[in-house]
Structure 1
Amino acid sequence: MLFLLRWRRRLLLSLAPLLLAQSAAALPRYAAHYGQKCLLCHDDPSGGGRRSAYASQYLVPSELALRTPADAAAIDPQLNERIAIGVDLRTLYRYHPDAARKSADNLFQMQGDLYVQLQVDARVSLHLEQSLSGAGEVYGLAFLLPAGGYLKAGRFAPAFGWRFADHTQVVRERAGFAPPADLDVGVEVGLLPSGAGLSLGIFNGAGGQLRDSDNRPALALRGEWRRELAALKLGLGASLYREEEAAAGRERRLGGPFACVALGPLTWLGECDWERRERAEGGPQTALLASQELCWTLRRGCALRALFDFHDPDASAQSGSERRFAIGAELLATPFVGVSTLMSWWDAQPGPAVGATDYEAFSLILHLLY
């Protein structure tokens, strides 16, 4: 009975924002829900970064926010005909019920990004992101290729799988794509024909560093296909990331499928990756990483989320594994203010490769955006 009371209290905590008023972050589920590419709402073809004029002036205030403000027509991120801006500020509070983890209960400024876009002409633009760390994405984007194709060069996140905003999901964090290690210097070429997308990028493989220290490049390949069957929206794709590691003759390969299904208020996204690393002793090691998210939009601006993550550092041996179950709520009270909560339960199966123990964590995020 005590367990049920504690569980009910934490469930209510995770849904608390619904009693107040969804955060329009770089969420791939919006692309899945509308059956569209990320480019519809973001400057970056891979998603993330500054929201497009369509998103900031129409989609967010008219469809995603709880209500449309009376002065919605005044929303204008354009400073002039060439320069546009955007902002993302996220403040996180984490709470751990377990006494052993109380030292991790704190407030954390997880994001503070200012985006500036310079539209050089109809097909070429320059993008600058100033972040809390002082080093964000900086790249040029030129739509000069057929089939909606583009050339992108600078420092940015390689296109791989779903670019979940929650970087604690294992396909981001355990795969090495959690900020700031997700940024790399490179060149990417992409094609965006109707209902599909394909990108190929060559990077330093420096893992968030400004300079390459080992002269061993990395390769990122991502393909995606989308279709609509009546009210059902489907998406299926696969990614591959390969890099040579510091030790001569050793490499890291990461890849796997990702998919999405949307029907009415329900949207599901899933990704499964295998990571193969060469080891100095004992031969190669293959890890399994999987993340799933199910979102139920209760009404405009209000949504519930359920997450599942799984990580096995060595799928060929009994070396331990860990799972996460999570539920939460998101609300976008206005086009500029979002609140989200998440209650997570981590279940660890200890082994030689997993030293973690079971624990619970509650998070509350305030998101200010423009």
Structure 2
Amino acid sequence: MSKLFTPVHLAVPEGPGLTLRNRTVLAPMCQYSVTTLDGVPHAWHLAHLGARAAGGFGLVFTEAAAITAQGRISDQDAGIWNDAQGRAWSPIVDFIHSQGAAAGIQLAHAGGKASTYAWLPQQVAEHKIGSISATDGGWETLGPAETEIFGLTSPWSMTLEQIAASVQDWADAALRADAAGFDVAQIHAAHGYLVHQFLSPLTNTRTDAYGGSFENRTRYAREVITAVRAAWPAHKPLAIRFSGDDWVEGGWRIADTVRFAAEAFELGVSAFDLSSAGIGKYHGPSGPGFQVPLAAAVKQAVPDAFVTAVGMINDPSQAEQVLVTGSADGVSIGRAALKNPNWPAVAASELGASRDDIPFAAQYWRAHW
């Protein structure tokens, strides 16, 4: 059996923790499919996530689920800011579980990158790119400071009262996610969204207790982690997704991520997913597995955590190599899973697993993996 398809245990502060059937993780990917604009997930989300659970993933993450309406990336994003959304997620979670996978939700707030047009072919064809116009229903956005770095309408700088309210929003969303039955909650602190905006000196130009020094710039993230960990059951793993490096001089760098990951682990985060960039013009590397070194650096800093690598990991042998070299404990698969919802089953077959050890839905046994 390849390492990719051996079970893995995610430890927690209290209780037995969570065991995944294998080390493949469906990465959160925006679907821009809530055409009702109310944040309520529906049949598309069941079909999309359910297919990947049936296809063999060990852990299936939702798209970024906004913790407030104002925090949506687009107006067609799914959410978890009210009870109706929480109830709608519940049957989706149940189906994921029925296929042998664990269910994770990515809690998110886009901050200054909110209120943008959905990234769909029709929108692009109509040149609807960037900030949603007021006539199309765009809304005011909030961030740690005003900034033009994203090429979007500048956010308003958050007041201390808004920061405190935002922290509570994260905790409230975690409570709803628990009620919906999710096994893992992941805080989205990557890709230039709100938590990342506080972390990076490129977007956080505040001069109060939430800006300036490393301690101050990480204060909001620490408060979010602490609030979510308190609301999220102690027997369930708490995860975080980092942009490990802005790849911009003067920005958030991998040394900062390594330092803060150790602090986050002490605050109760037990799983880390390492992506990168999202703020400023990209100056980083590219190519298959280009972000694996970021995961390896965090794994070295927090050896007892479950660390996943993500980014252009498409080939099963490549994924296996990430694990056998000790760079990460698991791999997050994104675009490759959009092309093939059965990526884990196909990968297990290619890596030589016996038919009995290949994770696939019983209804598909005639596929001869």
| TM-score after normalising by structure 2 | 0.33
Whichever of the two has the greater Rg, that structure is: 1
Larger relative helix fraction: 2
Larger relative strand fraction: 1
